[in-house]
Structure formats: structure tokens, C-alpha cells
Amino acid sequence: MSTYTNISLAARPNPGPITPDLFKVEYKSIPQAGPGQVLVKQTYMSLDPAMIGWMSPDQESYVPPVEIGEVMRSAGIGEIVESNHPDFAVGDRVRGMLGWREYLVSGGEGLTKLPTNLNEEMALAVFALPGMTATQGLYGFGDPKKGETIVVSGAAGSVGSIVGQLAKADGLNVIGVAGDDEKCDWIRDELGFDAAINYKTDDIPARLREYAPNGVDIYFENTGGAIQQPVFDQMNTHGRIIVCGMIADYTSDTPSAGPNWIPLIKKRITIRGFAMPDHFQDVQKLTEKLTPYVINGKIRYRTHVLEGLESAIDGLNLFFTGGNRGKLIVKL
Amino acid sequence: MSTYTNISLAARPNPGPITPDLFKVEYKSIPQAGPGQVLVKQTYMSLDPAMIGWMSPDQESYVPPVEIGEVMRSAGIGEIVESNHPDFAVGDRVRGMLGWREYLVSGGEGLTKLPTNLNEEMALAVFALPGMTATQGLYGFGDPKKGETIVVSGAAGSVGSIVGQLAKADGLNVIGVAGDDEKCDWIRDELGFDAAINYKTDDIPARLREYAPNGVDIYFENTGGAIQQPVFDQMNTHGRIIVCGMIADYTSDTPSAGPNWIPLIKKRITIRGFAMPDHFQDVQKLTEKLTPYVINGKIRYRTHVLEGLESAIDGLNLFFTGGNRGKLIVKL
């Protein structure tokens, strides 16, 4: 095969589902590595909720949007198939922001070798954006203490599932919120969360009172939506709210209202919004924090693997529907 | 005169104005100081927005409510008129939580002598709850930096007026929000704020764009209400929001909606609610921080003095109407 698939952004999304016309799919000739370059064949590509933001023209976002006509942005893992670069040999596995394409030529900038003992799926599901985000959010801003209660929304998601398991390993009472019973069963029965709430079918305030009889100390917010106000109402004095994602609102024309601020005073609550590009310089430190939990078997994960690059397009909609079962990965 | 006026709480307030039936006014015989005691004649009493909270039965509040039948809580200044206590002499001026009464007998607990160079009005308007609150909020949580822009709501109030002047002295661009033109004139022309917005008559978003062309770095929130969402919309990346008061919502049956949380992520904003009882152990440090600004003439204040203890009852409504002109003090 002398051609490869390349997908670039063709238009900005409107509120609502991601549609194929937002992308341009092209079949290009596989290039050759020039002097000092490598040719990378991507093998696994990560799909992340942040991509919705990267596609949008919002000037207030924390990273520049993908330009129209530019290859769509993504993290991934690939194999060196040609090398004229002293640091990389044919067969090396590398990771980096590879983009939505099967092959790319690179001068090596931004490529790092994958440790030989790390498989690709764990590399993308744990030791990548999800694990770094979970670790930074929980320990950088959450100040978790044994015996406290944490509520994690989007708890079956790539970030939420790690947050909850870290907190459980630290001795907290961990309540996960998810959108269907299968996910609730998974976080409770497989990951060891103390309790799970199905926000679509459960009586949220009643379940919160039952599972958090002493109130909520930490609220790790990945979704927004129906769960937000009820959890906010149960926050304890000196509670910490970490706002990591609001996927329930990303596709709506008019953002939903947030909670009134009076309880912030009465309970001296801190709400902290964050995004990982502010903390990329801390990745080494975050990895060192996360690694012992993984080595000690405290962090389980599952992957939802899509086959073929073009499956990424419709795959993004799984973030809105909650239809994915684990970390979304595209196998190329 | 052998009797004095004593006002105790008779009933919990409902949403809406403070009414006389919430209090019981009694005329009692002036007691005598027993062994180890002092008799204090209160001369100046502070009225503070926090009193509305103290009257309410809210179990979530940061200080216990005043019990029904108990003397209403307040800070004040008095004079020692009898003393059997080695630390206090007749004629000494003392401050403490004296309550809504003209006389009280005390064993000296919680009474501190007023420095001889400090007049009573400045003691209550600056070196008391307002100044401590302003200093803790701005420096404890605001991280103000020269050249940044701060918006202060309730800017003509006892806390807001000090926050704005501290920020101005530190070289920030200071925008105050108040509810009438006289207050706007005062904070701009007398206190030196860079700009003032009348939230009742001005086009708030337009004025914010004009006065904060580079966006808002710090939002010191004393009121809630109409100003909140427009300021929130103008926050800069890494902005800090300090929530000190929400007086606009204290009398409403249904709290107004707060801003949606998506911008907290995009702009990595921190919202911090606080209340001074958490920081009473830092009063000495806060006083040391505030004093140089006062000595250097950076902090001006005005007092709105009511005459006679019973004027306190209706005086509380001035917090809701915004009818006060300066720190509310009852002269006894």
C-alpha cells in the first residue's frame, strides 16, 4: 500500500452531534523520511473529549483551535518504520501528538519513546492525558484526606475512573456518578467504588443522602448536568470542587445555570477550574505520583477500541451519548 | 437613670425586610460589677450584614445563630464605668462582642482595650470586621498584582470600599460597582477608584468593556445580583473570584442562578468563598498588613451613624436597600 488516510478539519462544529462533513478524508502517498527525519506509522490513536474544544473557534479556550484545513489534533502511539535520526531506530515505539493520520514524517520533535514494559492501551488509558488529569486534579486541588467523601461525575470515563480509584486507595468514601447501570456496576463491582448513582434513573438527592450521610468533601466534576446542583447542595464546610469537564453542556446552545453562590460563603467552598496545558511541565512529577498506584494494582482500566482511522469521526459522538465503555482508542 | 435598654431576638426572620416584631425590647435595671467583674457602658455599636445570618436558623452557617430570647449579637465599643478587675480601670475604652444592650457586666473575657490613638468610628469602620475581611479576602485569596484589573461589587460598602482602596494603592485598575450615583461619585472622586458602575442604571457589559478593556483578573463579590454574570463573562484566564457577600440574594425566597461552570475550565478560574470566623486567629497579622495603608493615608472611610439602640432594628434594612452612606454605626 503506497497511500495512507489523512483527516483534516473542514468546518467548525455547531451545537449537536459531530457530523462527517466537518472533516475532509484524503488518501495521500506515504512520504519518505528525509535527512534527520523519521517516518512514523501510527498504531493507536487516543480519542479525548478535549477534541470537541480543539475543533471550536472559541478564542477563550486554553489551547489554540485546530485551523480549518489542518490535520485534526490527537495524541497517539506509532512505530518507527524509517529512520534517518540518531535517536530513533526502526521498530521503536514512540508517542506524541501524531494527529489523525496513518503516517507522518517527523524531525523527532515531541516524540518520546514508549517504555518497553508499557503496552499501548495502558499508555493511552492511564499514562497519558487521563491519568495526568486525574492526578493533577485530585492531588493538585482536591487535598483528599482519608475518611472524607468524594463524588466523581463521569465516573466511568477515562479521567473519572482513575480519580475514583486513587481516592479509594487513599481511604476515601467514593461515590461515582454515571449514565447507565452497566457503568454503575463496573465502577462499583470492578473498580471498587463504594457506591454508584445512575443520574438518569436514580433519585439523585436521596441516593446522595444515603451514600454520603456525612456530606460531600470533594466534588470532581467531569460532566455538569443533572448531578451538579444536588451534589453542590450536599457539600460540606471547606469543601473542594474541581471542575475538569462539562461535557453535558458542550453541545447545548444555551449553557445551563450554575448554582447560586451563597453556599460558597456559608460553607467556605473553593471551586477550581483547571486544564492540563497549564500543568504539562509537571508531567514527570505527576507520573511519579501515579505510578505506585498502578504498580500496586490499584488502577484498573478498560478500553473501547474502534477500528480504523475513519471510525474516529463518529466515535467523538460517544462522548455526548456516553455510549463508550472505557477509554476510547482508535486502532489503526 | 437606673435602667438600660436590652434588645433580644424574638423570632427568626422571613425573606423580606426586618420588622420590629423580630425583636424584644426591654428596659432592665443597670447591674453592678461583682468580684473580678467590670460594668461596661456601650458607646458605639457596629451594624454588619452578617447579623442577618446570625438571626437565621440556618444550620449550615459558619457561626451558630443567635438563640431566640438571647441578646442580639454585635461588636461594639464601650467604657468601663465600674471595675473590680485588675486589668481594667474606670474610664478605659474596650471593644468586644457587646451585644444589643446599653450596659453589660463582664468578667473581662473577650474584652480588649482600644489603643488610645484610635477613635471609635475608625475602630469600627476600619480596624474591625470590615478591614479584616477586606485584607483577608484581597491578600489571602486574591493575589493582586500591579497592573491587573479588579472589580469590586458593593464598592461603597464597608468592606468593598477598603478592598478597592487597597487595590488602588497596590497599582491595580479598580472598578467599583454600587447602586446609586452618589455612591459611584464617592468611590471614584473621594476614594480614587478608577471607575464606577451604577448597576441599576448603567449598561453593565458596555461599561465593563470600557473600564476593563483587558478583562478582569479579580472579582471581589459582595452583593451578587445583576452584576455577577456580566463580570463573570469578562474574567481573564487564571482569574480569581472571591465571594464575600451575596446581600442581593439574602432576602429572596429562591436564590438566583449562578454562572455556568464551563468558563471555569476554559479560563482556569478559581472561586473562593470565605468568612472571617475561619481567620480570627490571623487578626494580628491582618492588622499589621492593613496598618501601613491607613498610616499612609490610603484608606478613607465614612460612617453612617444612627442614634440610639432601638434604631438598630430598622437600621438593618439599610443593607437591603443600600440606603446607608458608609459604615453603619449605632451611637448609644
Model confidence pLDDT, tens digit, residues B174-208: 999 999 999 999 999 999 999 999 999 999 999 99
For chain A, which ranges sit under pLDDT 50? none
Distance CA B237, CA B217 (A): 8
From chain B residues 42-61, the ones with a CB under 8 A of any chain A CB are: 53, 58, 60-61
Strand A195-198, strand A149-153: pairing: unpaired
Q: Which of B76, B72, B73, B83 is nearest to B105 (CA)?
A: B83
Q: Where in chain B is the domain with CATH 3.90.180.10?
A: 3-121+302-331
Does A264 sit within 8 Å of B243, measured CB to CB? Answer: yes
Q: Is B84 on the interface with A (CB under 8 A)?
A: no
CATH number for the domain whose boundaries are A3-125+302-331: 3.90.180.10
pLDDT of residue A16: 84
Considering chain A, what percentage of its residues have pLDDT values greater than 90? 88
pLDDT of residue B60: 61
Inter-CA distances, A217 with A195, A233, B170, B311, B321, Å: 15, 12, 35, 42, 36
Give chain B's mean pLDDT. 95
Say which residue the cell 451558630 belongs to: B64
C-beta separation of A46 from A158 below 8 A = no
Indicate the residue of B58, B265, B272 with minimum beta-carbon distance to A275.
Answer: B265
Buried b (16+ CB within 10 A) or exposed e, A173-208: bbbbbbbbeebbebbbeebebbbbbbbeebebeebb
Does B250 sit within 8 Å of A273, measured CB to CB? Answer: no
CATH number for the domain whose boundaries are B129-279+286-294: 3.40.50.720
Distance CA A152, CA A139 (A): 14
User: Sign of the CA dihedral A137, A140, A141, A144?
Assistant: positive
pLDDT in tens, A119-137: 999 999 999 999 999 999 9
Paired residues of A25 in beta bridges: A7
Q: Where in chain A is the domain with CATH 3.90.180.10?
A: 3-125+302-331
User: Sign of the CA dihedral B136, B138, B143, B145?
Assistant: negative
Paired residues of B218 in beta bridges: B150, B240
Distance CA B313, CA B300 (A): 27
Say which residue the cell 463524588 belongs to: A151
Q: Is B273 on the interface with A (CB under 8 A)?
A: yes
For chain B, which ranges sit under pLDDT 50? none
Does B255 sit within 8 Å of A258, measured CB to CB? Answer: no
pLDDT of residue B57: 78
pLDDT of residue A277: 87
Q: What type of residue is A115?
A: P
Q: What type of residue is B60?
A: E
Q: Where in chain A is the domain with CATH 3.40.50.720?
A: 129-279+286-294
pLDDT in tens, A191-212: 999 999 999 999 999 999 999 9
| Domain B3-121+302-331 of CATH type 3.40.630.10 | no
Paired residues of A93 in beta bridges: A79
Buried b (16+ CB within 10 A) or exposed e, B147-169: ebbbbbbbbbbbbbbbbbbbbbb
pLDDT of residue A59: 56
C-beta separation of B104 from B57 below 8 A = no
Closest Cα in chain B, distance from residue A241 (Å): 10
Q: What DSSP assignment string belongs to A96-160? A: E---SBSEEEE-STT-EEPPTT--HHHHHHTTTHHHHHHHIIIIIII---TT-EEEEESTTSHHH
Closest Cα in chain B, distance from residue A317 (Å): 19
ipTM score assigned to the predicted complex? 0.89
pLDDT of residue A1: 57
Inter-CA distances, B171 with B143, B147, B174, B219, B220, Å: 13, 6, 9, 16, 16
Q: Which of A277, A276, A198 is nearest to A244 (CA)?
A: A276
Does B263 sit within 8 Å of A273, measured CB to CB? Answer: yes
Residue A13 DSSP one-character state: P
